[in-house]
Amino acid sequence: MSQSESEAASATRKTIERTYRERGRGFLAWAKRHAPDAETAEDILQDAFIRALAHVDALAPVEDLAAWIFSAMRNRLVDLWRGKGASRRAGAIEVPAEVIEAVATEAGLDPEDQLQRSEMLTALEVAIEALPAPQREVIRAQALGGVAFKDLAERTGVSIDTLMARKRYAIRKLAAALEYWMDD
């Protein structure tokens, strides 16, 4: 490695470290909104910065390092969602059309596009699996299984208000997951 290449790599390494210090919290907040849990979000953030440090020589010409880091995080999250989807396809759940349309509408998507709808269904199945267990159970029982909130409350011992809140939170998370999926 020549002197100028070594200096460029050192400067890029310092830029990566500065980007982590200055933007790391924002990147982590974004990852937490899109990842299934906080631990995964932290892993995604760390993976992106580790990749940046591992490819410091190749990143020297990159003008917007923060954008590169964000893209690396986003790609890692997409890989995660797609990987989970592939592993679950054999036992895929049936999602009623009205649930897909409700989530699609919340995410601002046009549910009439058949190709998009098929891909969205796969993404939705993966997103449902990534929900916290209490929210996933409400979505499966109430939205997918058609169980009334009253019956679900009696069966689980959880108040109707709590169940409705869980469903509302789940729908928002599913909509965010599909919105992220559409950005891909």
Number of neighbouring beta carbons within 10 Å of residue 74: 18
Question: Region 70-96: what's the mean pLDDT?
Answer: 67
For the CA atoms of the chain, what is the radius of gyration?
20
Question: Region 72-84: what's the mean pLDDT?
Answer: 77
**Mean of the per-residue pLDDT values for the chain?**
78
pLDDT > 60? residue 89: no
Give the HSE-up count for residue 53: Cα atoms under 13 Å, Cβ half-sphere: 11
pLDDT at 86: 47
pLDDT > 80? residue 8: no
Tracing tokens 């592939």 back to the chain, one arrives at 86
Length of the chain: 184
Residue 148 CA, distance from chain mean position:
29
Question: Region 104-119: what's the mean pLDDT?
Answer: 62
Angle between helices 160-183 and 97-107 (to 10 degrees): 70
What domains lie within the chain, and their CATH numbers?
3-89 (1.10.1740), 93-183 (1.10.10.10)
- 116 with 104: CB under 8 angstroms? no
Residue 157 binned pLDDT confidence (cut-offs 50, 70, 90): very high
Residue 125 sits at the vertex; the CA angle it makes with 119 and 131, to the nearest 5 degrees, is 135
- 135 with 167: CB under 8 angstroms? yes
Sign of CA dihedral 12, 14, 18, 23: positive
pLDDT at 30: 86
Question: Region 102-131: what's the mean pLDDT?
Answer: 69
Structure tokens that stand for 166 in this block: 């869980």
pLDDT at 159: 92
CA separation, residue 114 to residues 84, 88, 110, 119, 126 (Å): 23, 22, 10, 9, 19
pLDDT at 173: 83
